[in-house]
Structure 1
Amino acid sequence: MKFLEKHPMIMIVIGIIGISLSAIFVKYSEALSVVTAAYRLLWTVVLMTPVVLGKKEIRRELAGSDKKTVALCAVSGIFLALHFTSWFESLNQTSVASSTAIVCTEVIWVALGFCVFLKGRLSKAAVGSIAVTVAGSLLIALSDYSAGGNHLAGDGLALAAAVFSAVYTLIGREARKHMSTTVYTYIVYVFCALALCISTAVSGLSFTGYGAASVVVGLLLAVFSTLLGHSIFSWCLKFLSPSFVSASKLCEPVVAAVFAAVLFAEIPAILAVAGGFVTIGGVLLYSRVESHSEAQEKT
């Protein structure tokens, strides 16, 4: 572990690969989107439970959690469930490249939500970066509209997934003020899993009958995309700047698109590629603007 602390970039690379594999794993699942998401979260909870319950200080914090904060975690978990369901369905209807690029606009929706609901302010540079991101997303949509089929609907679902993820993040900012990362994520994942299971049951869908491969996909998503993906980025925040960690996540659409091209022969159109780069560029620009603003506030 000391070696990794001295070389955190190794963990960044592992994290990028982990989150980039998420879209690829989903493509191999034969289960419905909500069921695949339920598999992922159930496996995540199963894997995290021994760690959470195995440490006395974490058990104590979990037992003493404030009811209001737990309620926030529950709402956060519901929006995370909506995010997974809509994004997984998006991957069934459009390309990996388009879907992942649009989902990466989450940070833009977080910024807008911060302004609308938390009375925050955006600089002119931030507004400009948002405009660039929107323009990139429109290029992707235009490319997919020309391609016909359900691609445009898939883009819409990816956009919805980004918005749901933004709400989950905004709620998490408030809940995280009162609890550790481990306890927060565990409670959120539990409620997310419950929401997905209830949604599946209420819809009259079956949890079984999709083959062992779909269950394995859920496990792979839990291990690589959740624990070796998002959790690693949280760990990297101890050794690298938040702006760098956030920017590194923007490699996901590119890496995922390469995987998709090799494994599924998904070669995006030139307009979609251009839109993807413009979208990622806009998000990266906003990340830098935000980082600069934070640095000014500290001085």
Structure 2
Amino acid sequence: MIPPAPSVAPARWAFPAMVTGSACLAFGPLLVRLADVGPMASAFWRMALAAPLLLILARVVGGKGSVALPGPGSLWLAGLAGFAFAGDLAVWHLGIMRTTLANSTLLANAATFLLPLYGLVALRQRLGRPQALALGVAAAGMALLLGRSAELSPQHLAGDLLCLAAALFYTIYLVAIEKVRGVVAALPALALATFAGAVCLAPLAMFFDSSPAGGGASAFWPQDWTPVLGLAIGSQVIGQGLIVYAVRHLPPLVIGLSLLVQPAISAGVGAIRFGEVPGPWELAGAALVVVALVIARLPDRA
């Protein structure tokens, strides 16, 4: 059996870890566009390259027993998490290629509002005044970012819908991986889910991206490994590693709001890489996202 996560964990590091992990994920859409492989292939390589690295890290951090298989229940949940994450990456990467960079980041983070809904309905959690205020402030900030930064048009409709579907898959992934974290430590849990995701993505990548791309190169095998390595190490190992560690110690609302760090950073990435300089409304929206994160961490005095 994989040793369970410690019952007394340094939960004070969970919120910084969640924000830092979300910030690492903000560079994912840029790396997907820079990759010289198809969108399904870049999703597969992200998982396939990260899985052995995570297994090695789990062995180094947790010792020999940390890489043993868990019980059937935890193994099933890890497989579900991997399947959901594979679905998230598959539709999100397709959406990134069919809509704007701003749309792909903003719409894919609709999990910000789906996770609190899960907490209210499934977990019967009640939102205190600070949490309800934080959710409202976050919605206002996202509206400002979406209204000025994103371009809603029939041309991008397919990509926008794919990114929204990605948010649903990602919500399922976060719920499943949080359940796995109840009995399995962070790195082994993420390693199992990543391996399962790579297995799910392999046939999709081979089917959709095995045909020759421009210049006669394969759309499956990278010629330049830098972008896919960036996805594997920066997004999957570091970004998801920090998030999987944090989800055990944070409520769904805080997890969801922390995801909004991504569109705020993406605005800066767009300004530097594509000359999409944010205006005052975009800056105000990013500021409201930060304010929402601060409010969500306030204690409920009611």
- State the TM-score, normalizing by the size of structure 2: 0.73
- Provide Cα deviations, 1:45-72, integer angstroms capped at 9, x if missing partner: 132233345631213xx23x11111111
Distance change (3 Å), C-alpha of 1:185 and 1:75: same
Aligned amino acid, residue 222 of structure 1 = A
Aligned mate of 2:29, from 6, 9, 23? 23
* Deviation, structure 1 residue 207: 7.9
Q: As a proportion of its length, which structure holds more helix?
A: 1
* Partner residue, 1:70: 75
Q: Which moved more, 1:206-215 or 1:79-88?
A: 206-215
Distance change (3 Å), C-alpha of 1:292 and 1:151: farther
SS at match of 1:292: coil
SS at match of 1:179: coil
Answering whether residue 64 of structure 2 is matched by residue 56 of structure 1, we say yes
Aligned mate of 1:200, from 205, 221, 224? 205
- Provide Cα deviations, 1:150-173, integer angstroms capped at 9, x if missing partner: 334433333322222111111122
RMSD value, Cα: 4.0
* Deviation, structure 1 residue 214: 5.7
Aligned mate of 2:299, from 292, 295, 299? 292
Q: Which moved more, 1:74-83 or 1:206-215?
A: 206-215
Q: Which moved more, 1:215-224 or 1:119-128?
A: 119-128
- Provide Cα deviations, 1:4-50, integer angstroms capped at 9, x if missing partner: x9xx8998997566333222211202322221100100010132233
| Percentage of matched positions with identical amino acids | 21
Distance change (3 Å), C-alpha of 1:134 and 1:218: same
* Partner residue, 1:108: 113
Counting matched residue pairs gives: 279
Inter-partner Cα distance in structure 1 for 2:292 and 2:171: 14
SS at match of 1:177: coil
Answering whether residue 182 of structure 2 is matched by residue 174 of structure 1, we say no
Whether the aligned pair in 1 keeps the contact of 2:103 and 2:151 (CA below 8 Å) is no
Unaligned runs of 5+ in 1: none
Distance change (3 Å), C-alpha of 1:274 and 1:91: farther
* Partner residue, 2:38: 32
Unaligned runs of 5+ in 2: 1-9, 213-217
Whether the aligned pair in 2 keeps the contact of 1:136 and 1:276 (CA below 8 Å) is yes
* Deviation, structure 1 residue 73: 0.9
Q: Which moved more, 1:30-39 or 1:10-19?
A: 10-19
Answering whether residue 110 of structure 2 is matched by residue 96 of structure 1, we say no
SS at match of 2:168: helix
- State the TM-score, normalizing by the size of structure 1: 0.73
Distance change (3 Å), C-alpha of 1:17 and 1:141: closer
- Provide Cα deviations, 1:202-237, integer angstroms capped at 9, x if missing partner: x45418702634643221111122223332466689
Inter-partner Cα distance in structure 2 for 1:234 and 1:175: 10
Whether the aligned pair in 2 keeps the contact of 1:81 and 1:195 (CA below 8 Å) is yes
Aligned mate of 1:87, from 81, 85, 92? 92
